[in-house]
Structure 1
Amino acid sequence: MNRIAANPIPYWIRAGKSREVFDEAFRDLRDVGFDAVKADVPDDMTPAAYAEWIGGYGLAPSIGLFNSPFDETVDVAREVERARRFAATQVALGLDRTMVSSMSLPARMAEPAVGAGFDAGRLDRAIDACAAVCRALLAEGLRPLHHSHVGGVFETEHEIVRLLDDLGPDLIGFGPDTGHLRWAGIEPAPFIRRYADRLGGIHLKDCFADFLDPDSRRGLTYQQVQRTGRLWAEPGRGVVDLVAVLAAMPDGYDGDFMIEVDEPSRGHSKRESHRVSLEWARAALPAPG
């Protein structure tokens, strides 16, 4: 069944991932009416305890995310072991897939969404490292899906296509973020259609036009652009053609629809942002099935 899930990023992005922060997020998501939440199990909590915790708010675990720089700063063997532990936790929650992403390369956080500091050798090494992590996840029963994200080593269309095409569908599926694709200059709907047969998850994110032109954000870091409140928009209120995105998705899509607004748009509280987002989702998304 296709559930409507939320990623409560705006609650912890500045305050940190404390239990108190998540309790506030879960209360709001419950009251607004979400079905599920991104599985983000604290290091000191067992999967069973986490499931009981979010279940107390009427929420179920939805697709999580394994994040790695996948660059020269990581030890691949350690990342593989970390992926195995992550997979065991996710599988224990009853999940069969995960997003896999790269974030937070310093040069790209300083100059986001333009492929800053591209290095062909680094891309080759990153693809190899991601392949090793994907094999580990698959061995534990968790299907990896590449998740696009500005600021990482797989940021531009060329880099994402290289990863997906080099590794192939048996090793990695597709779990895009519509907002991050659009910010990086990639039209989400045609790109989703291109890899529709590998689609196993999606983050439905919208964005305003204000900072999509690189000239409009010259000298601003990733975080500075995000904090303007004029980057991310609640779904349906920005420039991402989400109608086309939904039309591009394959019949029989069996994943969740995860709503994500990293920083509520200007004038919206975190709770109100989620309320507006869910209102759009209930009107726009296909009936569960």
Structure 2
Amino acid sequence: MSGPRIAANPIPYWAKAGKSREVFEQAFRDFSDIGYTAVKADIPEGMSAAEYLEWIGGYGLAPALSLYSSAFDETVDATQELESVKRFADDQASLGMDRTMVSSMAVPARLARPAVGADFDEGRLSRAIERVGQACAALQSAGIRPLHHSHIGGVFETESEIVRLLDDLGPDVIGVGPDTGHLRWAGIDPATFIARYAGRIGGIHIKDCFPDFLDGRLDPADGRSYHELTGTKRLWAEPGLGVVDFDAVLAALPVGYDGDLMIEIDEPSVDSKYESHRMAFEWAQHGLAPVTG
């Protein structure tokens, strides 16, 4: 990592269509044409790190901050999980990466009732913290710095759960790679959170959200799930169109911040994925200038 880069995550391309070569190539063509120079390092199954580097390099793209995701709950076999983490770490090291995000996702009860800490279980939380700690040790043994990535729908969804993880494991075990949109949806002020853990920040997802379903606006009886709310196109916003105060977010980053600035728009608010990422890139030229220079 040589300094802050504006990168893109092709999640809206593959979220419904799947992670096929054709899907990724469309995303890479779009990103290259728009002007992005870095993309989330996501090596497809069956492809080596060297092949992946050559592939994205053909579009003028370099690998950027990736993410290891797991439920980290009782549904996951701990032994198999560690083997998966080790393979992931080796791939990331082969790409020249020195850090990665780590996130808990896809707990069914929390996808069904997002952003409210549904079905809290102390035993699950304690086990998940222990398993994340084991994953972090495996990542560190491969020279990869782990960063916790906040995400609605996982074990570490609410502020108290995220803080519990970070404080229990400590800075020597895990850093912080926040997602501004997921924090905001959970009712956490991103800038305040980032300032609290500034010394541990190693990467960030630049994500914005509309106000429609925030701060109690969504009736608890509404019943819509994570994916249903995402599908409305009134949850995630292109950066600058929503309610996240990015000036405050950037001001809260540590002096000398050298991580990636990963643009992430899970579900574009406009019909065109290309236009959505073009809008985000255009905004980033001035919106992220205090960090990128």
Write the deviation string for residues 173-231 of structure 1: whole angstroms up to 9, x where unpaired: 00000000000110100000000000000000000001114452620000000000100
Letter in 1 for 2:284: A
- Unpaired runs of at least 5, structure 2: none
- Unpaired runs of at least 5, structure 1: none
Instruction: Provide the residue aligned with 2:257 in structure 1.
Output: 253
Q: The residue matched to 2:218 in structure 1 has which SS?
A: helix
Instruction: Provide the residue aligned with 2:273 in structure 1.
Output: 270
Alignment of 1:25-40 (within 5 A): 25-40=27-42
1:198 maps to 2:212: no
Give the percent of matched residue pairs that are identical in Structure 1 and Structure 2: 67
Write the deviation string for residues 16-72 of structure 1: whole angstroms up to 9, x where unpaired: 000000000000000000010000001110000000000000000001100010101
1:81 maps to 2:75: no
TM-score, scaled relative to structure 2: 0.96
CA distance in 1, matches of 2:218, 2:153: 17
Alignment of 1:57-136 (within 5 A): 57-136=59-138
- Do the aligned partners of 2:250 and 2:291 also contact (CA within 8 Å) in 1? no
| Alpha-carbon offset, residue 76 of structure 1 | 1.3
1:24 maps to 2:12: no
Q: Please give the root-mean-square deviation of Cα atoms over the aligned residues, in Å.
A: 1.0
Instruction: Provide the residue aligned with 2:56 in structure 1.
Output: 54
Write the deviation string for residues 76-102 of structure 1: whole angstroms up to 9, x where unpaired: 121111111000000000000000000
| Alpha-carbon offset, residue 250 of structure 1 | 0.8
Instruction: Provide the residue aligned with 1:163 in structure 2.
Output: 165
Instruction: Provide the residue aligned with 2:232 in structure 1.
Output: 228
Range that drifts further, 160-169 or 208-217: 208-217
- Do the aligned partners of 1:114 and 1:214 also contact (CA within 8 Å) in 2? no
CA distance in 1, matches of 2:106, 2:210: 22
Write the deviation string for residues 153-182 of structure 1: whole angstroms up to 9, x where unpaired: 000000000000000000000000000000
Letter in 2 for 1:280: W
Give 2:285's match in structure 1, choosing from 279, 282, 285: 282
- Do the aligned partners of 1:200 and 1:253 also contact (CA within 8 Å) in 2? yes
Moved over 3 A (4+): none
CA distance in 2, matches of 1:238, 1:214: 17
CA distance in 1, matches of 2:105, 2:175: 18
| Alpha-carbon offset, residue 288 of structure 1 | 3.6
Alignment of 1:6-17 (within 5 A): 6-17=8-19
CA distance in 1, matches of 2:231, 2:215: 17
Q: The residue matched to 1:13 in structure 2 has which SS?
A: helix
- Do the aligned partners of 2:207 and 2:237 also contact (CA within 8 Å) in 1? yes
Letter in 1 for 2:160: H
Aligned length: 288
Q: The residue matched to 2:28 in structure 1 has which SS?
A: helix
